Amino acid sequence: MNNSPITTSIFDLFKVGPGPSSSHTIGPMKAAFDFLKRLEQLPESTIQTAGSIQVYLYGSLSATGRGHGTDRALIAGLLGWQPESTDPAALLALLKDPTVTYPVQVGERAFHLGVETIHFERKKYDSPYANTVVFKLMDGENGLYEEEYYSIGGGFILRKGEEPADQSAISVPYPYQTMKELKAQLKIHNLTLEELMLANETALTGRSVKQISSRIDLILDFMHKAVRRGLRHTGTLPGSIKLRRKAPLLFQQARGLVQSSDSFLIFLNSYCLAASEENAAGGIVVTAPTSGASGVIPGLTYLAKHHFHYDKATLRAGMWAAAAIGFLVKHNASISGAEMGCMGEIGTASAMGAAFLTYCAGKPIEAVEAAAEIGIEHHLGMTCDPIGGYVQIPCIERNAMGAVKAYNAFLLATAGTPANQKISLDAVIKVMKATGRDMSTKYKETSEAGLALSATEC
């Protein structure tokens, strides 16, 4: 366990970027961009000696990287593109024609990158993380310079050998590592959850409360734009499955029904599918906490805005509760499908969504904790086995299911006395970590088992 306080920014958890996968698209793009910047620091004589840039993918990145568009993301990063400002259409067009190469200028040299640059390695590689990518600057067969990166979920990356930032040097006014410690801080300082999180974020980022609040509004706006686009777009998603988009159909169906429990659920389904289908199509989405799970929170926040008519301040407050849960899971287990299976992605998103709904409804921290605990508890053991490596089946419907479970977790947690909940959030996160460790790698974003093996029947 990491023994430092949580020092993740809300904007590292909720990141804007192209789909379909934070670990397989956004993370590799960031790693490639970082490698490019490091190449630019090398002596010109080294660059002049070099013949090519080669990229090697291992583990889950190799197993499902094609379906996730990892090759395109790597080329984009080496071309100097950044996730938030990437044009999704331009990204999708990369490598479409295998004869085309893309010039990357480093100093006086232009390296030509194409399909030959990326190597999906099948051999076992000794690495501490499931998603590993190695960049090499080559002179013929000889390596001149290399860097190894790990994509650890949600678009977060680590570089081999890099000293982790000295967490003890980063100080937040209200340090915590667990829900127990977070609740103690709230009680000792008589703060609301939102006040505590804002104070820590201000200390971490140096941004003012006003800047942070308007950035959260912008993140919500990006989420809701993805929902609106997905409600409009029809047709077939990219990839060999030929999966048809369903969100617009569900939306029309819900609008045609008189207000009922069915229409409420169908509206929620349509919002979650809309954002997830945009993600699968490579559109711009917000990691929440990952791209694969980028339909749950957008769907629930869209519902909260348009059906419950919550104002901006309430939505923002709910986002802090969602972030707190995401931070706790990331710190004490993992939000990566390659580490935890789908319980790390949709399970975490569902718990974050449950916390969002509960906090927006004005319930106390004990109820927020209970809702999040229920959200995770009923996703324990859920595997990640996307068909063909595409973030489509089971991912898209799973976002809707995660949101529905979040809503039910909110209802269950707010009935009766939340303090009577027998399992704490900290305990269930520990169970999640242990379950992820025991789960076979076949079920952790490798498409080697489970639903992925039914691909031939699709």
Per CB under 6 A, residues contacting ligand SF4 are 292-293, 337, 342, 345-346, 384, 386, 391, 394-395, 398, 445
Minimum distance of ligand SF4 from residue 178's CB (angstroms): 24
| Minimum CB–partner distance for residue 343 and ligand SF4 (Å) | 8
CB of 345 vs ligand SF4, minimal distance in Å: 4
By beta-carbon proximity to ligand SF4, the closer residue of 418 and 436 is 436
Task: Give the total residue count for the chain.
Answer: 458
DSSP per residue, 203-236: HHH---HHHHHHHHHHHHHHHHHHHHHHHH--SB
Q: How far is the CB of 236 from ligand SF4 (least distance, A)?
A: 19
Cβ at position 393, least distance to ligand SF4 in Å: 8
C-alpha span between 413 and 432 (Å, rounded): 20
Name the residue nearer to ligand SF4 (CB basis): 36 or 346.
346
81 or 443: CB nearest ligand SF4: 443
What is the dihedral sign for C-alpha 29, 35, 38, 42? negative
CB atoms within 10 A of CB 385: 24
- Beta carbon of residue 342, minimum distance to ligand SF4 (angstroms, whole number): 3
- Closer of 79 and 342 to ligand SF4 (Cβ): 342
- Closer residue to ligand SF4 (CB): 239 or 418: 239
Kindly report whether the peptide bond that precedes residue 20 is cis, defined as omega within 30 degrees of 0: yes
Secondary structure (DSSP) of 43-98: -HHHHHH--EEEEEEEEHHHHHHHHHTHHHHHHHHHTT--GGG--HHHHHHTTSST
CA geometry: angle 279, 399, 247, nearest 5 deg: 65
Nearer to ligand SF4, 6 or 346 (CB): 346
Least CB distance to ligand SF4 at residue 397 (A):
10
Strands 52-59 and 131-139 come out as antiparallel
Minimum CB–partner distance for residue 186 and ligand SF4 (Å) = 31
Helix axes 209-232, 312-332, angle to 10 degrees: 90
Q: Which is nearer to ligand SF4, 71 or 345 (CB)?
A: 345
- Residue 453 exposure: Cα atoms within 13 Å on the Cβ side: 5
Distance CA 414, CA 365 (A): 11
Reading the block at residue 69, the tokens are 């568009």
Complex with ligand SF4: residue 57 or 413, whichever CB lies closer: 57
Distance CA 248, CA 230 (A): 7
The nearer residue to ligand SF4, 179 or 349, going by C-beta atoms, is 349
- 179 or 395: whose CB is closer to ligand SF4? 395
**What residue has token string 């960049």?**
135
For residue 391, the minimal CB distance to ligand SF4 (Å) is 5
The closest alpha carbon to 406, from 430, 382, 440, 374, belongs to 374
For residue 287, give the nearest of 92, 87, 16 by alpha carbon.
Answer: 16
- Cα(347)–Cα(369) distance, integer angstroms: 14
d(CA 301, CA 309): 10
First to last CA, the chain: 41
Shortest gap between Cβ of 67 and ligand SF4 (angstroms)? 9
